[in-house]
Amino acid sequence: MPSGLRHLPGFLDRPAQEALVGKLRALVAEAPFFTPVMPRTGRPFTVAMTNLGSLGWVSDRAGYRYQPTHPDTGNPWPTIPEAVLAVWREVSAYPHPPEACLVNHYREGAKMGLHRDEDEEEFAAPVVSISLGDTAVFRIGGTERGGKTETLKLSSGDVLVMGGESRLCYHGIDRVLSGTSTLLRDGGRINLTLRRVTKPETPSQRR
């Protein structure tokens, strides 16, 4: 595995997972899932998505970007729950809070092709991922497309930290193993991905 990649199995116990899912239901009612599309082809993703935080990641025919509002409702994204921020503070080893929390919903048959998280300005901060629901087969390669890849299984309650070299490695979800968790009423998987988007201000910039 690339250096800087940390897999923390069972980081959230079942009660913590259930409490988080309850919070997410209310937040998704405020910022509903939408289906992003690829910029050039307009092909829809198989994953439904929404965001929490001051910035949210979107993909449409205009390209990939972060923006402060939901693409359908036009409203600001809901605030990231304290329970999620607490995970960031405990595992990120980074002094500033995340600005974006992508909420990806993998229904049966959904997957995510190999890609890099590179639309941010700040690569010193890791990407922190929280898995809820069915187990996913996660694939990660190197910093260049192609070459050798490795897989690991991400189960409900697991946290994955992509820092150091792994921060800009190609990664994706091959498949979700249906029926491996009873956490979500209708099955499937929810993944929360925390990112710092902008570089923090330096002391001189704050003067």
Task: Domain ranges for the chain, please list them.
Answer: 5-199
Residues of the chain above pLDDT 70, percent: 97
CA distances from 49 to 86, 93, 133, 150, 177 (A): 22, 27, 16, 25, 19
Cα Rg of the chain, angstroms:
16
Average pLDDT of the chain, as a whole number: 94
The amino acid present at 50, given as its one-letter code, is T
CA 43/CA 185 separation, integer angstroms? 29
pLDDT on residue 203: 63
In the predicted model, what is the mean pLDDT of residues 179-193? Answer: 96
Q: Residue 167 in contact with residue 141, Cβ under 8 Å? A: no
CA 51/CA 100 separation, integer angstroms? 7
Q: Which residue has the tokens 């570089």?
A: 199
How is domain 5-199 classified at the architecture level of CATH? Sandwich (2.60)
- Collapse the DSSP code of 113 into the 3-class scheme (helix H, G, I; strand E, B; otherwise coil) and give the result: strand
Residue among 17, 167, 156, 173 nearest 92 (CA): 167
Tens-digit pLDDT profile for residues 42-76: 999 999 999 999 999 999 998 999 999 999 999 99
pLDDT on residue 206: 56
Tens-digit pLDDT profile for residues 6-55: 999 999 999 999 999 999 999 999 999 999 999 989 999 999 999 999 99
Candidate from 15-19, 73-77, 109-113, 178-182 with smallest mean pLDDT = 109-113
Q: Which residue has the tokens 């491996």?
A: 180
Q: Which residue has the tokens 């890849």?
A: 149
| Predicted TM-score of the model (pTM) | 0.93
In the predicted model, what is the mean pLDDT of residues 72-93? Answer: 97
Tens-digit pLDDT profile for residues 139-157: 999 999 888 999 999 999 9
Q: Residue 52 in contact with residue 81, Cβ under 8 Å? A: yes
